[in-house]
Structure 1
């Protein structure tokens, strides 16, 4: 499947955004790895100690530092800082659509493949409560797509979210995941 995803992403032209005024750029990594039962995606449950996105399920990643040469580097650096995955252990397969978040970041998601399993995760206890290794087949199953109701500025909105056990993958992470799953439909 790794080769099929690589080919899909190489042929894909991600949507780029340039908000006005500019927003802080951030990079995240949708990280896949092979394990018994098929490919899995790595998510992290954020602690309540972080400034942004407390307690949410997210992809590893974060805001671009002034010394980062590009946003891809940011995604890999942040993944290393948050969950201990060395950049040399990741093959970046491609990029998904840019996304502007309600927390006012311009997020660029990358898709990567971890070159080994099992992996010795070392995550930041101040940023990451625990990891979720979610089977790709689980999020592709429409029975795990659930409505997520949110009140924003006094109005109710319903968004798509993904249920995994007691955890809900919602918000920008769910939208990025949806972008990836839409691409994978070409493989069906």
Structure 2
């Protein structure tokens, strides 16, 4: 089986389970009216290698929001997009020059609501390895790859607490070399690891 077929089979089986969506920001937005939620999508680009990796970006420190944070390529679903998959592919092309033709879409996983009012749909896709990626200077400071096995390993998922806006908040973080993956991106990775339990 190809990597795309293996990932697709594991994701389909994992999504068929009745496991709950990972708690976190969802809890705080439980009462938010649907018309106040902004649809967004991210691409989870898995490189087609013997030891697959996941492509991630780091935001510039100069950004007004999410400065310096690690993220998947992605953004809001625009009116001209044909759904979350199209939005994720478009954003990946705009942010890191990843051609949609080089992505085999495997499927989507649980949408994740952020405290900033976005409902983010992760789109899992297999990409050609070693493709030359060119980060958009306005949105991306760096592009890097983390082994998929490392990201899916629960031993690397740290549960952290801190006070924010007068209350204690809990979130996940994943440390990879000198990178800190946390917040919504880490939560989506943890949730994906639950959905891909059958991946081998």
Q: How does 1:21-170 map to 2 (within 5 A)?
A: 21-22=34-35, 23-35=37-49, 38-114=51-127, 116-170=128-182
Number of aligned pairs? 186
Contact 2:11–2:196 (Cα < 8 Å) also in 1: no
Q: 1:97 Cα shift? A: 0.5
Q: 1:74 Cα shift? A: 0.6
Question: What's the TM-score, normalizing by structure 1?
Answer: 0.88
Could you list the runs of 4 or more consecutive aligned residues of structure 1 that deviate by over 4 angstroms after TM superposition?
13-19
Could you tell me how far apart the structure 1 residues matched to 2:61 and 2:99 are? 25
Superposed CA RMSD: 2.3
Could you tell me how far apart the structure 2 residues matched to 1:13 and 1:68 are? 27
Runs of 5+ consecutive residues of structure 1 not aligned to the other structure: none
* CA separation of 1:52 and 1:93: change in aligned 2, threshold 3 A: same
Question: What's the TM-score, normalizing by structure 2?
Answer: 0.84
Structure with more strand by fraction? 1
Q: 1:151 Cα shift? A: 1.8
Q: 1:71 Cα shift? A: 1.8
Map Cα deviations across residues 152-186 of structure 1 (whole Å, 9 max, x no partner). Answer: 22223332211111211111111111111112222
